[in-house]
Structure 1
């Protein structure tokens, strides 16, 4: 059980989830406006780092956009579920960074640690899906493609992406947000099309 909620809240949660399932981008905006502060606060509490918490927040909302059916209104509230998701993602990020630090300290690169828990990578369970994601990635403008590749395939933070690309941190953040938004839209469209064919 995520947390107890009123009948009205349960109805609102279910309706918002249904809008996400149907690919309503305004639903993602509504979700973000309602719960981004909650997700960010939990992520900061776990990571103790503002930039890392922003990464976690971005991952959580992308994951919900890509897998809205993972939320089951009958089991608890959307707020409680997002809080649980934020906590898990934040813990994963802390563990990932610690593994990366140990690998760097030992003078070796732990390839398995890079991208572990990645919200985009989580969607790629077979070669067909990987090919689809690759197609969506190649369709991105060069700046967005490079930003996404650095952050999600090489495990870089916002700040590291900004340094690597030679742009202000704010620019790197906006590129990542826009790139993830476009990937989410592209992947949702692909999944929807595949569903129609099956």
Structure 2
């Protein structure tokens, strides 16, 4: 059998490609060389249109040609031409490569988003905390003695209303009223909107 002319330089007949494919299915390396020469330009062109990166397209083309070698026994001429079969495999492989690259990019972006933490200035944070503490102290000084003691025991020492009432030896309803009134005054003093 004479060596076929590559598709890009005049074409190889459909029958010649089918015959080459049959020989490749039997493990003929020489036939695969001819098949490679005939189909590689077509496969590369299809892959490049999908992948759009020359280096990756070359890799995918090699993978497709290896697939053609490995799957040669599966080829059925009744299902379509060798060219159509190779083009289908090339397109699928190219789409798979693009999807894999996109999935890897999506995973990387998601990981980067999870790991991203907004930087903050510790000095600014400390100054703001100090200013807020001073404002709270100033506002607490504006409360009545019972209100200030009740709020301090409840919010800074973690006592319940009942424990605050017992500590101050004041009836529970009085403590609740003083705490409510004190918290309203604190809110107004701090400029917090309800």
Larger Rg: 2
> TM-score, normalized by length of structure 1?
0.48
Structure possessing the higher relative contact order (Cα contacts under 8 Å, 6 or more residues apart)? 1
> TM-score, normalized by length of structure 2?
0.49
